[in-house]
Chain A
Amino acid sequence: MYHFDWAVFWQYLLPWTALANPLIRNGLVATVVVSVVAQVLGVIFGLFAALGKMSKFPPLRWIADGYIWYFRGTPLLVQMMLLFFGLGVTHIYDFPDLHLGPLLITGAIQAGTLALAVNEGAYMAEIVRAGIEAIDPGQMEAARSLGMTSGLAMRRIVLPQATKVIIPPLGNEFNNMMKTTSIMVVISSGELFFGFTQVNARIFKPFELFIAASMYYLLLTTIWSFIQARIEGSLGERKGIERGPGMFQRIFSFGGGRGVR
C-alpha cells in the first residue's frame, strides 16, 4: 500500500512554499517567458512561411513547403535534441550561455526556445495561410484596383483582416505551447517541469510532485483561457467578428462548435 506523502504534496502544491524553492520559482518564470518568446517567434516564422507558400516565385514556395513538411512531419522532441546536441557536437553553434544584464540565458533555454519556435512556425504557417485565404479575394482586387502593389495590399488590407481570423486558433496554439515547454526537460533547461524533476531526483516522490507540477500547468492554461476570452471579446465588440465560445465551454469543452452570441 502506497503511503501518499501529504506534507510533500502540499509543500510543492501551495505557491508560497513551492516558490520558495528557486528551482520551481525560476522554472515557472522560464516557462512563461519561453512560451511567450517561442510563440512570438513562431508567429513571425509562420507568417513568412505562409507568404512564401503563397508566393509567385517557385523557389520560395519550395522552401516554405519543405520547412512545413519537415517540422510538422517529425517529432518536436527529436527536433529539439537534434538542435541542441547536434549543433553542439558539430560546433556549428555551441549554445553558449548568454548574460543579458542580470539575466542568465542558458544554452539549453536558447535551444529549447528556438526548437519550439521553429516547430510552432510550421503550424502557424497553416493557420496564417488559412486566415489569409478566408479573406474575400474582392478585398485584394479592390486594393489593387486603387493602385496598391500586392505587398502593400497584403500589409494594409488583407493581413489586418486575417489577424482577426488568426487570433482564436493562435490562442489555442499558445495554450499548447505552455504545456509543450515541458519537453525541454530532455535538454535539462531550467523550466518548470525540469524544476520538479530535479526536486524528485533528490526526494523521489514522483506521484506527489508530478500531481503538483500538473496543477501549475493547469493554473497557467486556465489563466490564459481567461485572457484569451477577453481578447476575443474585445475584438468582437470593436470590429464585429463572431464571438468565440464562452468561458465555461472554453475550459471544459462542453457543448459543440462555436458559441452563439
Chain B
Amino acid sequence: MVFDSTSPFTPSSSRVVVQAEKVNKFFGSLHVLKDVDLTVSKNEVVVIIGPSGSGKSTLLRCINHIEKINSGRIYVNGRLIGYYEKNGRLVEDSERNIAQQRSEIGMVFQRFNLFPHLTALENILEAPINVRKLPTEEAEAEAVKLLERVGLVEKRDKYPNQLSGGQQQRVAIARALAMKPSLMLFDEPTSALDPEMIGEVLDVMKELAHEITMIVVSHEMGFVRAAANRIIFIDEGRIIEDTTPDSLFNDPREERTRAFLSKILH
C-alpha cells in the first residue's frame, strides 16, 4: 500500500493503525463527538477515560463503524472505514466491504454479547467458519488454542449461561481474537463484572497488550499502570488530554482532568 504523505487525509506511515480526523457525531441534536483527532500506531495500547456520556464509547464504536459518523474521516490500516470518498464527499460503502473491514477489528463489549444459543467453542468458531470460511478442523484447532490462552479449555462445551461473567468475557475476547484482528477495541470490558472477576479479565488483556494494538475504554487504573502506553481523557465530546499515564496522573494539564481523576482514583 502506498500513502501520499502530503495529502491531509491519508496516514503518513503504515505503522499507523487508526487515524481519526475531525470526527463529528450527533445523536439527534446532541453533539457527541466534536472535531476528534486521534492517531494510534501499531502495538500501542491506548486507554480512554472520561465521565459517562463524554463520548468515549461512541468514539470506539465509530472506529469499527457500528456507529456512523456525521463528518470527518476515520482510517483503519490506511483505509477509510465504512465509507468511500466520491468528489470529496463520504458515501457509505457496501455492506460486504464494511463487513470485511470489521472482520479485521476485534471488539469486546461491556455486556459480553456472547451468543447464548452456542457453546463457548461454537461462539469462537462461528465467525472463522462463516466469515473467514476456514475448514472446520482448522478453525477448531485455532479455537481450542484460544480457549487455552484465556484459560477456559475445560469450558468449551458450556453455554454462556453456565459461565461466570469473567469467564464469559474471556470467551468473548477469544471470539474476537479468532478473526486474527490487527486492532482490538474494548468497550468497558470489566464494568459489568463482579469485583472478584475483574482481575482474570485484566490479566488476559495485559497479556494481549504485548502483541496487538488496543484501544480500551476503561477506568481500571491497574490496567492503565500495567499496560497502557497512552491515556486519553475525553470530556463533552472533546479530547482534553492525550499523553502518557505518568504525566496524566502526576501533572494533568487541565483542571477538569484533575477533578475527574480525583473521583476515579479515590
Listed in ascending order, the chain A residues whose CB lies under 8 Å from chain B are 136, 138-139, 141-150, 152, 156-157, 160-161, 164, 239-240
Contacts and interface: CB of A to CB of B under 8 A. Distances in A.
Contacts of B102: 144-147
Nearest to A141: B66
Interface stretch (B104-112, B224-232, B245-253): B104-112
A147 B116 CA distance: 19
Contacts of A156: 126, 130
Interface of B: 64, 66, 95-96, 99-100, 102-107, 109, 111, 113-117, 126-127, 130-132, 159, 161, 172, 175-176, 179
A146 B113 contact: no
Q: In this complex, which of B66, B103, B116, B159 has the most chain A Cβ atoms within 10 angstroms of its Cβ?
A: B116
Given A142-B115, A146-B175, A156-B130, 10 more contacts: A136-B113, A142-B114, A144-B66, A147-B127, A150-B95, A152-B131, A157-B126, A161-B116, A240-B116, A240-B159
Contacts of A142: 107, 109, 113-115, 172
A12 B31 CA distance: 74
B179 A139 contact: no
A117 to B, nearest CB: 28
Nearest to A239: B117
A148 B99 contact: yes
Contacts of A145: 64, 66, 102, 105-107, 176
Contact of B127 (A148, A150, A239): A148
26 contacts: A136-B111, A138-B111, A141-B66, A142-B107, A142-B109, A143-B126, A145-B64, A145-B102, A145-B107, A146-B127, A146-B131, A146-B176, A146-B179, A147-B102, A147-B103, A147-B127, A148-B127, A148-B131, A149-B96, A149-B99, A152-B131, A156-B130, A160-B117, A161-B117, A164-B117, A239-B117
A152 B133 CA distance: 13
B76 to A, nearest CB: 13
A142 B195 CA distance: 24
A54 to B, nearest CB: 15
Given A152-B130, A161-B116, A147 B109 contact: no
Contact of A144 (B99, B111, B176): B99
B109 to A, nearest CB: 6
A164 B96 CA distance: 29
Contact of B99 (A136, A147, A160): A147
Contacts of B114: 142
Q: In this complex, which of A142, A144, A146, A164 has the most chain B Cβ atoms within 10 angstroms of its Cβ?
A: A146
Contacts of B64: 145
A147 B179 contact: yes
A157 B115 contact: yes
A146 B178 CA distance: 9
A187 B202 CA distance: 69
B121 to A, nearest CB: 15
Contacts of A148: 99, 127, 130-131
A240 B131 CA distance: 28
Nearest to A135: B116
A147 B130 CA distance: 9
A232 to B, nearest CB: 16
A158 B171 CA distance: 19
Contacts of B179: 146-147
A136 B104 CA distance: 24
Contacts of B161: 240
A157 B176 CA distance: 16
Contacts of A240: 116, 159, 161
Given A146-B176, A147-B102, A240-B159, A141 B130 contact: no
B101 to A, nearest CB: 8
Chain A to chain B: the 9 pairs with minimum beta-carbon distance, closest first: A147-B103, A142-B113, A146-B127, A145-B107, A138-B113, A147-B131, A149-B99, A147-B102, A147-B99
A164 B103 CA distance: 28
